[in-house]
Chains A and B, each alone.
Chain A
Amino acid sequence: MAESPRQLAKRLCEEIQKKGRDRGLLIAFEGPDGSGKTTQRKLFKEWLAGEGYDVVTTKWSSSRLVKPIIKTRKNMRSINPEEFCLLHAADFRHRLEHDIVPALVKGKMVVADRFLFTALARDAARGLELDWLLHIYSPLYWPDLVFYFSVSPETSGKRIAATRTPKYYEAGQDVTNISDPFESYRQFIRRVIQEYDALAVIFKFITIDAEAPIYDQHLLIRKLFQESRERPWMDWNEEAITDWVNMLPRRREVVIGS
């Protein structure tokens, strides 16, 4: 008899667990704009690859299917917080199903430049309810590690202002109604950082002082990663794997890579 989606999902989870410390990990780099997380993500990815890991990177709002839709609407400044949220949720779900979960099932390391928590922080800062956001983003594949790059709103603002004018949605001008993008950014990023700080406590992020020297941060991330290689598989990810198997029937013939 053919294996049902639930049976397949269970088998996949068991096979992932059996891999022990050789299983792929999902490592999220989170933090406000200007926190330097992308620099750290790049350094970390290079180091991981040098250590022999097969690494996949996924960036926020980057799916080939939904990214162009979001980009057009952002340029037109035509979306409200709810549409902003739902479109990013679509992009996230698509990447989770097409890029992230398949890579993890094959034992690859997935380095996420922003993950769920970006949506939670930004959307909550736009006035949406955290409880609603968590519901609509479920079922989730929870990251094994979340590095949170903590900076003050002032530092974030200074770093952004040094290189460019914040974009309309980045500055939160859709919700602040402030015409000066720098002033809007200053106010909006404060809200975003408040949300991030609360999430860091709730979800036990590893907080990195993003105002420390770049290489010191990188060495710390390496050390924390090496210490966490024994991290056990989280059972609640089974729901996300089951959903993935159900949603994409053609992926049922999946073979776990070595």
Chain B
Amino acid sequence: MAPNAASSGQLLSLDVIDGSDSIPAAKRLLKSRAGETGISKWDASSIFFEMHGLGVDERPSPRTLVFLYAADMSFRLRWEILPALQESKCVVAVPYIETGYALGTVAGLPRKWLNEVFRFAPKAQESYRVNGPASVGLASATTGFIEFCSSMMEQDLRPKFASYFDDLERRGRCRSL
């Protein structure tokens, strides 16, 4: 089921705490890379933007949010990431599947279920994370996925996501940018 990412391109994952960091951090990461590059950003499908605009008072649960995140991820893979890899570009996916796993973990969803949901996504060759400045207030819901989830779940989830990425880094699964 996972699409074949094998190509001469390179997929880098970058998971950020503050959505506004996405593009600056991705550009920093790509600075040292030779050749053509590309960036795939959260909500390229505009699922979350549209949902935010609906003004429906029913809140999606973490499970529903994971499905929506995965749907957006699938869209990004199909239209942005895989075509760029086929063209031998170095692509930064910001954020990538670890942010979906982070929400699931924070919400207590089973790892096995998360593995199944994200089974379609190829692994990144290199993984990075960026911590947000702790003192900055939470930005609007459409700034990034963590902000969106925080808004839906009515709590600032950034510290919990940061702990998840700290743990990943300790286990050598990603590097700080």
Q: A: which residues have CB within 8 A of B?
A: 63-66, 68-69, 72, 79-80, 82-83, 86-87, 89-90, 93-94, 97-98, 128-129, 132, 135-136, 138, 243, 246-248
Contact A80 B74, beta carbon cutoff 8 Å: yes
What residues of chain B lie closer than 8 Å to A68, measured between beta carbons?
50, 54
Known pairs A64-B58, A68-B54; list 9 more (Cβ under 8 Å). Answer: A65-B54, A65-B58, A66-B68, A69-B51, A83-B45, A86-B68, A90-B67, A128-B1, A135-B116
- The CA-CA distance from A55 to B47 in the complex, in Å, is 32
A-chain residues with CB within 8 Å of residue B47 when the two chains form the complex: 69, 87
Report yes or no: A94 in contact with B58, Cβ–Cβ below 8 A: yes
A138 pairs with B113, CB closer than 8 A:
yes
**Which of A64, A94, A132 lies in contact with B64, CB distance below 8 A?**
A94
Give the 5 A-B CB pairs with smallest separation, nearest first.
A90-B67, A247-B61, A86-B71, A135-B116, A82-B74
Q: Complex Cα distance A98/B74, Å?
A: 26
B19, CB-defined interface residue at 8 Å: no
Measured CB to CB, the closest approach of chain A to B51, in angstroms, equals 6
Q: Are A243 and B120 in contact (CB under 8 A)?
A: no
Residues of A within 8 A of B62 (CB): 247
Q: Whose C-beta in chain B lies nearest to the C-beta of A250?
A: B59
Do A72 and B50 touch (CB < 8 A)? Answer: yes
Measured CA separation A63–B54 after assembly (Å): 12
- CB<8 Å pairs between A and B, sample of 28: A63-B58, A65-B51, A65-B54, A65-B56, A65-B60, A66-B51, A69-B51, A79-B75, A80-B78, A83-B45, A83-B75, A86-B67, A86-B70, A87-B47, A89-B67, A90-B67, A90-B68, A90-B71, A93-B63, A97-B61, A97-B63, A98-B58, A132-B119, A138-B113, A246-B108, A247-B62, A247-B63, A247-B107
Shortest Cβ distance from B78 into A: residue: A80
Whether the pair B117, A136 counts as a contact (CB closer than 8 A) is yes
B61 nearest in chain A by CB position: A247
How far does the alpha carbon of A89 sit from the alpha carbon of B117 in the complex, in Å? 10
A93–B63 Cα gap in the complex (Å)? 8
Chain B residues near A138 (CB-CB < 8 A): 113
Give chain B's interface residues, CB within 8 Å of chain A.
Answer: 1, 45, 47, 50-51, 54, 56, 58, 60-64, 67-68, 70-71, 74-75, 78, 107-108, 112-113, 116-117, 119-120
Return chain B residues, CB-CB under 8 Å to A86.
67-68, 70-71, 74, 117
Question: Please, which residue of chain B has its CB at the minimum distance from the CB of A81?
Answer: B74
Task: Give every chain A residue within 8 A of B61 (Cβ-Cβ).
Answer: 93-94, 97, 247-248
B64 touches A97 (CB 8 A): yes
Chain A, residue nearest B47 (CB): A69
- A129 to B112: give the CA distance in the assembly, Å: 17
Residues on the B chain within 8 Å of A93, using CB: 61, 63-64, 67
